[in-house]
Chain A
Amino acid sequence: MARTELKLLGAWPSPYVMRPRIALNIKSVDYEFLQETFGSKSQLLLESNPVHKKIPVLIHKGKPICESLIIVEYIDETWSSGPSILPSDPYDRAIAKFWGAYVDEKWFPNLRILSTAEGEAKDQVIGTIVEGLDLLEDAFVKISKGKTFFGGGQIGYLDIAFGCYLGWLRASEKMSEVKLLDEAKTPGLAKWADTFSSHPAVKDVMPEVDKLVEYGKSLVAKYRAAKAASS
Chain B
Amino acid sequence: MAEEEVKVFRTWSSPFPLRVIWALKLKGVEFDTVYEDLSNKSPLLLQYNPVHKKVPVLLHNGKPICESLVILEYVDERWKQFPLLPQDPHERAKARFWAKFGDDKVFQSIVYGILFKQGKEREEEIPRAMEILQHLEEELKGKKFFGGEKIGLVDLALGWLAYYLGIIEEVIGLKLIDQEKFPLLLQWIQEFSTAPIIQENWPPRDKLIAKFAASREAALAQGLK
Contacts and interface: CB of A to CB of B under 8 A. Distances in A.
Interface of A: 51, 60, 63, 65-67, 70-71, 73-74, 77-78, 90-91, 93-95, 97-98, 101-102, 135
B67 interface: yes
Interface string B63-105: 1011101110110011000000000011011001100110000
A94 B93 contact: no
A95 B93 CA distance: 19
Given A91-B63, A94-B65, A98-B65, A65 B90 contact: yes
A70 B91 CA distance: 11
A191 B95 CA distance: 36
B73 A70 contact: no
Contact of A97 (B70, B78, B93): B70
Given A51-B135, A98-B70, A101-B67, A73 B96 contact: yes
Contact of A66 (B71, B78, B92, B97): B97
Nearest to A77: B89
Contact of A102 (B51, B60, B100): B51
Given A51-B101, A70-B97, A97-B67, A90 B74 contact: yes
B74 A93 contact: yes
Contacts of B96: 67, 70, 73
Nearest to A75: B89
A90 B89 contact: no
Given A67-B96, A97-B70, A98-B66, 11 more contacts: A70-B97, A70-B100, A73-B92, A73-B93, A78-B89, A90-B78, A91-B60, A91-B74, A97-B73, A98-B67, A102-B51
Contact of B90 (A63, A91, A135): A63
A101 B51 CA distance: 12
A128 B81 CA distance: 42
Contacts of B89: 74, 77-78
A70 B71 contact: no
Nearest to B61: A91
A68 B166 CA distance: 33
Contacts of B70: 94, 97-98, 101
A94 B135 CA distance: 28
A65 B60 CA distance: 32
Q: 3 tightest CB-CB pairs across the interface, nearest first?
A: A90-B77, A77-B89, A94-B74
A225 B67 CA distance: 39
Contacts of A97: 67, 70, 73
Nearest to A90: B77
A67 B95 CA distance: 12
B93 A93 contact: no
Contacts of A77: 89, 92
10 contacts: A70-B96, A73-B92, A74-B89, A91-B65, A93-B74, A94-B65, A97-B73, A98-B70, A101-B67, A101-B69
B133 to A, nearest CB: 12
A97 B96 CA distance: 12
A98 B97 CA distance: 16
Contacts of B97: 65-67, 70
A70 B93 contact: yes
Interface in B125-181: 135
B93 A65 contact: yes
